[in-house]
């Protein structure tokens, strides 16, 4: 009977396969426990992506303790914190999102403004968009119908996107541009769209355009701060903050950390 022979042939095979599998699974489960004490996790606005790792590295070198950085849109991170994400500190790109956490009783105190962000208009190499502080080049390109895709961050979750929307509305370009807008999940994703030439340009964070990833990718012009609501970036310690997180919070207000932020295109509060 064919069924019987194949059953007999098969009986010897599964044992080693299952043995190997169980061994691997157990090893993986054990490896999970060995991780031990974790460095505090800090949630940070995407615009800090190039600057904050440098600050954290300097902090680790001088203080001997590490922090782990997680980047995302301020709104996304706020939502995650409200849903119970185990962050100990939050550096936002605006004041509204951290204030919302403070109002919900999730922070230790209202926190401080640690930096003021700047918006730039960026045009990738080869794009027809010319960049200037008044957005005249963008207005011209809109008139001639030359804008196929224009990148900003999603205004609902990213403060830089919200600033970009306010600026475009103030310039009277919002309605004309709207069908062409591509919205990044965060300002880094919007930057990705623009830098790779998949959009004719975008309104991005100055700190990102200054990062090594943007070297020789295109041209940009700094937008005057008075042209959009200020990007006052506030940080807060969350209720669960450990001493290390508190130290990092204090360190961000030192001259050394401020110098790094300034070098990455942020203004610092007096």
Q: Which stretch binds other proteins (CB under 8 A): 33-41, 129-137, 160-168, 172-180?
A: 33-41
CB-nearer residue toward other proteins: 164 or 194: 194
Q: What are phi and psi of 161, to 5 degrees?
A: -70, -40
Nearest distance from C-beta of residue 3 to other proteins, angstroms: 5
Query: Residue 213 interacts with other proteins (CB under 8 A)?
Result: yes
Closest CA to 267 of 235, 215, 225: 225
Q: Is 220 helix (H, G, I), strand (E, B) or coil?
A: strand
Nearest distance from C-beta of residue 84 to other proteins, angstroms: 3
Size of the residue set binding other proteins (CB under 8 A)? 42
Which listed residue (74, 154, 192, 233) binds other proteins by CB under 8 A? 192
Query: Residue 103 interacts with other proteins (CB under 8 A)?
Result: no
Query: Residue 19 interacts with other proteins (CB under 8 A)?
Result: no
Closest CA to 131 of 217, 231, 211: 217
Nearest distance from C-beta of residue 188 to other proteins, angstroms: 4
What is the C-alpha to C-alpha distance for residues 123 and 214, in angstroms, rounded to an integer? 11
Task: Identify any residues that bridge with 90 across adjacent strands, giving them in sequence order.
Answer: 43, 236
Q: What are phi and psi of 40, to 5 degrees?
A: -60, 145
Query: Residue 85 interacts with other proteins (CB under 8 A)?
Result: yes
Q: Work out whether strand 231-237 and strand 112-117 pair parallel, antiparallel, or are unpaired.
A: antiparallel
Closest CA to 248 of 41, 108, 37: 41
Which listed residue (16, 37, 61, 83) binds other proteins by CB under 8 A? 83
Output the DSSP codes for 58-78: HHHHHHS---EEEEE-HHHHH
Q: Which stretch binds other proteins (CB under 8 A): 171-179, 191-199, 243-251, 254-262?
A: 191-199
Q: Which positions lie near other proteins, rule CB under 8 A?
A: 3, 6-7, 9-11, 13-14, 17, 21, 24-25, 28-29, 31-32, 35, 38, 41, 46, 49-50, 68, 70-72, 80, 82-86, 186, 188-189, 191-192, 195, 211-214
């Amino acid at each position: 009977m064919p069924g019987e022979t194949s059953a007999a042939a098969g009986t010897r095979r599964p044992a080693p396969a299952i043995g190997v599998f169980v061994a691997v699974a157990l090893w993986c489960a054990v490896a999970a426990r060995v991780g031990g004490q974790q460095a505090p996790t800090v949630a940070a606005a995407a615009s800090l992506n190039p600057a904050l790792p440098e600050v954290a590295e300097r902090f680790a070198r001088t203080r001997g303790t590490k922090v782990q950085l997680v980047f995302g849109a301020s709104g996304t991170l706020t939502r995650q914190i409200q849903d119970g994400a185990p962050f100990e500190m939050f550096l936002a790109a605006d004041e509204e999102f951290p204030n919302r956490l403070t109002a919900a009783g999730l922070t230790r105190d209202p926190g401080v403004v640690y930096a003021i962000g700047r918006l730039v208009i960026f045009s990738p190499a080869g794009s027809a968009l010319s960049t200037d502080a008044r957005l005249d080049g963008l207005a011209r390109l809109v008139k001639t119908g030359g804008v196929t895709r224009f990148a900003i961050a999603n205004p609902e979750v990213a403060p830089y996107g919200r600033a970009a929307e306010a600026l475009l509305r103030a310039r009277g370009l919002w309605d004309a541009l709207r069908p062409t807008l591509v919205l990044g999940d965060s300002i880094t994703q919007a930057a990705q769209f623009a830098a790779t030439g998949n959009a004719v340009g975008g309104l991005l964070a100055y700190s990102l355009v200054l990062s090594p990833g943007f070297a020789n990718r295109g041209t940009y012009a700094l937008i005057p701060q008075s042209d959009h609501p200020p990007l006052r970036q506030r940080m807060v310690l969350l209720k669960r903050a450990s001493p290390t997180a508190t130290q990092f919070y204090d360190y961000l207000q030192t001259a050394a950390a401020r110098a790094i932020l300034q070098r990455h295109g942020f203004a610092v509060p007096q």
